Amino acid sequence: MAGDMSRAIIHVDMDAFYASVELLDDPGLSGQAVIVGGLGPRGVVATANYEARVYGVHSALPMSQARRLCPQARFIRPRMARYRELSVSVFSVFREFTPRVEGLSLDEAFLDVTGSLKLFGGQQAIGRQLKEQILARTGLMASVGMAHNKFLAKLASDSQKPDGFVFVQPGEVHAFLDPMPINRLWGVGKRTAPRLKALGILTIGQLRRSDISAVRTVLGNRAEHFQRLSRGEDEREVQVLRPDKSISNEITFDTDLLDRTELLAELLRQSENVSRRLRAQELMASTVVVKIRDANFHTVTRSGSMRACSNITRTLYRMARAQFGSWRDKHRTTPVRLLGMGVSGLEPENAEGKARGDQLDSRSEQSLDRVFDRINQRYGDAKIVHGLALRRRKDS
């Protein structure tokens, strides 16, 4: 079966989003290489504009390497609040064409426009209008990929960046996919690709035409799945929901608490709980909220936003402690009846370039490293290697 071709799926991806916003807000940067990311000794590149990419600078590259490759670039710390503001405008454009929007990050989404084709004059007409409306309202450029499934739409939007506009018709699927290297297939990672290459399978077309039993020797029971992808078949639905807008917890004490150390210990426990739930859902948060109710049932909340998102216990706890402290300094003798801690401003962990708060703050990363070091000393390197390997498996 060749898969359902009756759907109309569009993938929209803003071009070099963070860097483009910086250029938008500071026209003096125009024509220059612009690199946005953590500027500390352990920072990484979140986004580089196309002028910088020419020098080999790309997302997730250590900033120290980016500085060597492109020393003349302008280096800028991310301004997440501003990116989120523009993201809201971009997503409001999406929702004018369909309610079926699956956001992947601040600047990227799948749209199922099957039900809107008649209203707006067809899939390519919608793609054009999306680009035009985004540009008109934000001054930013988007690349658009159109096809009958998510897999093809995503590859289509990637294939002609920046300012891309690519429609893959059902009859063109093989011509579009066949020349691409196999690592463009979702799930073919750094470990699988060399093993396929050893079989002489370097392109998606070669995988499509390969004998399934040979492919099985490398991919096992995933062989059929990857061969379906190589034929351009992908049945996954556009998932409209991102269920959690915030994650929080709170506790009412049996007896009101006054002791600062005990209160901070509770705050740390809650930060651990919240950050663990974030990591389990592969989310990060930018805002930390602390809720305090005193013995007289008077409730206050204190919130603070971080420069970039994080799901690291230490980073979230430090923010929560600061919020709590700002209240405690003015209410030193007030017993606390209820204490809560939560996060909002959630976004996927793999949002553009992973501009993580902890990478912007070298101190917390270093202290995390010290924890790793201690575990390694105690148990040998295998523990940490094992953990990193698991994490990579999740990424690929």
| Residues in contact with Mg ion by the rule CB under 5 A | 13-14, 17, 107
How far apart are alpha carbons 19 and 244 in whole angstroms?
A: 28
Query: Judged by CB, which is closer to Mg ion: 15, or 266?
Result: 15
**Is residue 350 helix, strand or coil?**
coil
To the nearest whole angstrom, how small is the minimum distance from the Cβ of residue 217 to Mg ion?
Answer: 36
Closest C-alpha among 112, 118, 94 to residue 236 = 112
**To 5 degrees, how large is the angle CA 21–CA 27–CA 31?**
95
Per DSSP, the three-state class of 245 is: coil
Residue pair 10/123 in contact (Cβ under 8 Å)? The answer is yes
Nearer to Mg ion, 14 or 283 (CB): 14
Shorter beta-carbon distance to Mg ion: residue 13 or 112: 13
Measured CA to CA, the distance from residue 64 to residue 287 in angstroms comes to 28
Taking the complex as a whole, the smallest distance from the CB of residue 377 to Mg ion amounts, in Å, to 41
CB of residue 352 to Mg ion, shortest distance in Å: 5
Q: What is the DSSP string of 281-298?
A: TTEEEEEEEEEEEETTS-
Handedness of CA 263, 268, 271, 277 (dihedral sign): negative
From the CB of 13, what's the least distance to Mg ion, in Å? 4
Query: Least separation, in Å, of the C-beta of 108 and Mg ion?
Result: 5
Distances (CA, A) of 214 to 174, 176, 222, 387: 21, 24, 12, 31
**Whose Cβ is closer to Mg ion: residue 109's or residue 290's?**
109
The whole-angstrom separation of Cα 336 and Cα 322 is 17
**Nearer Cβ to Mg ion (103/342):** 103
Nearer to Mg ion, 90 or 218 (CB): 90
Catalytic residues: 108
First to last CA, the chain: 27
275-278 long-range Cβ contacts below 8 angstroms, 24+ apart = 275/311, 275/312, 275/313, 275/316, 276/313, 277/247, 278/247, 278/311, 278/343, 278/346
Closest separation in Å from C-beta 181 to Mg ion: 20
Contact by Cβ (8 Å): 79, 322? no
Which tokens sit at 376? Answer: 């390694």
Q: Of the two residues 17 and 94, which places its CB atom closer to Mg ion in the complex?
A: 17
CB neighbour list of residue 75: distance below 8 Å, 6 or more residues apart: 35, 37, 39, 63, 66, 67
At its nearest, how many Å lie between Mg ion and the CB of residue 142?
Answer: 8
Q: How far are the Cα atoms of 26, 108, 165 from residue 142, in angstroms, in the given order?
A: 19, 9, 9
CB-CB neighbours of 216 under 10 Å: 14
- Rank residues 17 and 151 by Cβ distance to Mg ion and give the closer one: 17
Closest approach, Cβ 104 to Mg ion, in A, equals 9
Give the three-class secondary structure for 254.
strand
